Amino acid sequence: MIIQQKTGRILVDEHLDGKVIEVVYFEWYEAQKRILRKKTTAGTDISLKFLDENPQFTEGDVLFENEEKIIVVRLLPCDCLVIKPRNSFEIASICYEIGNKHLPLFYENDELLVPFEQPLFRLLTAQGYELTQEKRQLIHPLKTTVAPHGNANESLFSKIMKLTTHE
């Protein structure tokens, strides 16, 4: 089965009118892949081909739906560094450190999440940041690039940097 677009999203407790739910599990690093082969929990082979856009798959995305079944995306938890910044300056500093290493960064419930890396864990611990290692889902990627022109495309990182600089 070839899938070229998402058809919607469902919530965990949503009523599905007796349809069978087939789940496709994704690792965090597969969530941005445009071309991918996967197998559902019921054994259905699927080919994902999103040639015109970055799909950014997330928890609950519906890949296929007909009268009998729904194919839904689930993200697997992985080992993460969970960083709890105490203020906006720490957020900016942590984003800077992680951005310099070109690592993906995620944001959830006032916490920054990064796939676990021992050298980063040691670095951030030595710098005195509050962090733990936990199994978590990496669902909300944080766009940390600074927009080149104008304020309409301003990233969260550039907004934080403006808040932390005193003029």
pLDDT, tens digit (0-9, with 9 covering 90-100), for 46-67 = 999 988 777 888 899 999 988 8
Q: Going by C-beta distance under 8 Å and a sequence separation of 6 or more, which residues neighbour residue 115? A: 28, 29, 78, 79, 80, 81, 103, 104, 138
Domain definitions of the chain by residue range: 2-75, 78-164
pLDDT above 50 for 5: yes
pLDDT in tens, 62-101: 999 888 899 999 999 999 999 999 998 998 889 888 888 8
Please give the model's pTM, rounded to 2 decimal places: 0.74
Higher pLDDT, 16 or 85: 85
pLDDT above 70 for 148: no
Listed residue (127, 117, 129) closest to 81, CA to CA: 117
What pLDDT does residue 164 have? 65
Return the CATH class of domain 2-75.
mainly beta
pLDDT above 60 for 161: yes
CATH of domain 78-164: 3.30.70.790
**Is 104:120 a contact under the CB 8 Å cutoff?**
no
Listed residue (76, 58, 84, 60) closest to 135, CA to CA: 76
Same CATH topology for 2-75 and 78-164: the answer is no
Query: Which residues are paired to 108 by β-bridges?
Result: 111
Query: Which residues are paired to 81 by β-bridges?
Result: 114, 133
C-alpha of 108 from chain center: 10
What pLDDT does residue 20 have? 87
How far apart CA 103 and CA 84 sit, in angstroms, is: 17
